[in-house]
Amino acid sequence: MTALLVAIGGALGAVLRSVTDGEIKLRSRRTWPIATLCINVVGSFVLGLVAALNTSATVTAFVVTGVCGGFTTFSTASVEAIGLVRERRGVTALAYVLASVLVCVSAVLVGMALGRALV
């Protein structure tokens, strides 16, 4: 049953990522990979929130492993950073990597703080 919940959550997260990525790219003319950063920040926040709420193993499997796992994408962020380096935009790549880590970790902390305040 847990594997099925993870699979359904993962499928939902992947579809949400695809739609969100497309919508952000449609509205943004930036050459910076803002869509992936936004997706990873939102996913990090949700993960922190759910972790702090001490939900059941079932909810954690569905939301954290499934939805957040399918929604967020460290691998795409890594490929985008390498792409920036290949374009000889090393400073931009470094800023993107640092922003990805710092902002996502901050989003987890904010989600956890909100979760603790709600409990």
Confidence (pLDDT) at 81: 96
Residue corresponding to tokens 């890594």: 78
Confidence (pLDDT) at 64: 94
Per-residue pLDDT band for 33 (boundaries 50, 70, 90) equals: very high
Confidence (pLDDT) at 105: 97
Tell how many helices (H) and how many strands (E) occur in the chain: 6, 0
Give the residue ranges of the annotated binding site for Na(+).
Answer: 69, 72
Per-residue pLDDT band for 29 (boundaries 50, 70, 90) equals: confident
Residue 64 to residue 49: CA distance in whole angstroms = 10
Residue corresponding to tokens 């936004």: 38
Query: In the predicted model, what is the mean pLDDT of the chain?
Result: 95
Helices 34-52 and 2-27 pack at an angle, to 10 degrees, of 140
Q: Flag whether pLDDT at 41 surpasses 90.
A: yes
Model's pTM, two decimal places?
A: 0.91
Confidence (pLDDT) at 54: 83
Residue 100 to residue 107: CA distance in whole angstroms = 10
Confidence (pLDDT) at 63: 96
Give the residue ranges of the annotated binding site.
Answer: 69, 72
